[in-house]
């Protein structure tokens, strides 16, 4: 059987809903989100508006990428340029309706979920860098090199600017994937959730 063709494009605002749905699926078993939202259906309902808002916000910068195959989006990489994280007050206000939908989906869990972002802001590196906010590949795209292809454009852009990249993940299984792309662990135990799974902070220096 002929391999499925995948095309890499820039994420557009019109893609935000599809990107949010994909990221809610790809992050459905993410350790931090499983800890905050133990019930799978509640987790899905809570993540869709949040991920959609994140995709819409990132799309405005024109540096995020999506992978498409014959059935639509199969992968998303949300990148923020230097200085774009933490989000500005204006961007947070714009995302408020989506966050309210997340809060209504899981009112008891929402304070812990919101705390993840607040904790991440406090420890975010002050140096100028490109921030990988989220990377997700649909289950049907696993094992096809979609994640690596999505990352390539962002890494090329960072290298051309002479600036490092930074990301955080609460899934230890992601560490080796990012190491293969040149990232190294700079923080082994970021406690964004009290009593929850720690996050890894990873940095990739620019390559000439």
User: Which bin fits 165, alpha (ψ -120 to 50), beta or left (φ > 0)?
Assistant: beta
pLDDT(2) > 70: no
Here the CATH number for the domain that contains residue 63 is 3.40.630.30
pLDDT, residue 3, reads: 59
Percentage of the chain lying above the pLDDT 90 cut: 93
pLDDT(133) > 80: yes
Phi, psi of 6 (to 5 degrees): -120, 135
Q: Say which residue the tokens 């812990």 belong to.
A: 112
Whole-angstrom Cα distance, residue 83 to residue 163? 12
7 CB-contact burial (10 Å; exposed 0-12 / middle 13-18 / buried 19+): exposed
Quick check: is 178 in a domain? yes
H helices present in the chain, as ranges: 16-26, 31-36, 40-59, 89-105, 110-123, 146-161, 175-180
Whole-angstrom Cα distance, residue 63 to residue 77? 9
pLDDT tens digit sequence for 82-123? 999 999 999 999 999 999 999 999 999 999 999 999 999 999
pLDDT, residue 5, reads: 82
pLDDT(71) > 50: yes
Cβ neighbours, 10 Å, residue 46: 24
pLDDT, residue 192, reads: 95
Q: Are 136 and 26 in contact (CB under 8 A)?
A: yes
pLDDT(1) > 60: no
Res. 198 pLDDT band, cuts 50 70 90:
very high
pLDDT(4) > 90: no
Looking at the structure of the chain, the number of domains it has is 1
Kind and range of the H or E element at 74? Answer: strand 72-80
Tell me the mean pLDDT in the region 159-164: 98
End-to-end CA distance of the chain: 39
Quick check: is 2 in a domain? no
Residues paired with residue 165 on neighbouring β-strands, in sequence order: 130, 204
pLDDT, residue 67, reads: 96
30 CB-contact burial (10 Å; exposed 0-12 / middle 13-18 / buried 19+): buried
pLDDT tens digit sequence for 31-64? 999 999 999 999 999 999 999 999 999 999 999 9
Quick check: is 1 in a domain? no
Domain that holds residue 98: 7-204
Global pTM value = 0.95
Kind and range of the H or E element at 114? Answer: helix 110-123
């Amino acid at each position: 059987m002929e391999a499925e063709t995948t095309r890499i494009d820039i994420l557009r605002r019109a893609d935000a809903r599809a990107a949010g749905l994909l990221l809610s699926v790809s992050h459905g078993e993410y350790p931090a989100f499983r800890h905050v939202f133990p019930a799978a259906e509640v987790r899905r309902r809570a993540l869709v508006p949040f991920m959609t808002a994140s995709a819409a916000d990132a799309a405005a910068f024109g540096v995020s990428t999506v992978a498409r195959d014959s059935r639509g989006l199969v992968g998303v990489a949300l990148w923020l340029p230097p200085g774009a994280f933490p989000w500005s007050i204006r961007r947070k206000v714009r995302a408020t309706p989506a966050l309210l939908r997340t809060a209504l989906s899981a009112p008891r869990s929402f304070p812990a979920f919101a705390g993840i972002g607040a904790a991440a802001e406090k420890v975010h590196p002050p140096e100028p860098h490109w921030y990988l906010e989220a990377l997700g590949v649909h289950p049907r795209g696993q094992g096809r090199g979609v994640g690596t292809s999505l990352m390539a454009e962002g890494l090329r852009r960072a290298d051309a600017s002479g600036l490092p990249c930074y990301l955080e993940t609460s899934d230890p299984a992601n560490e080796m994937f990012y190491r293969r792309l040149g990232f190294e662990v700079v923080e082994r135990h970021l406690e964004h959730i009290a009593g929850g799974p720690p996050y890894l902070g990873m940095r990739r220096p620019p390559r000439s």
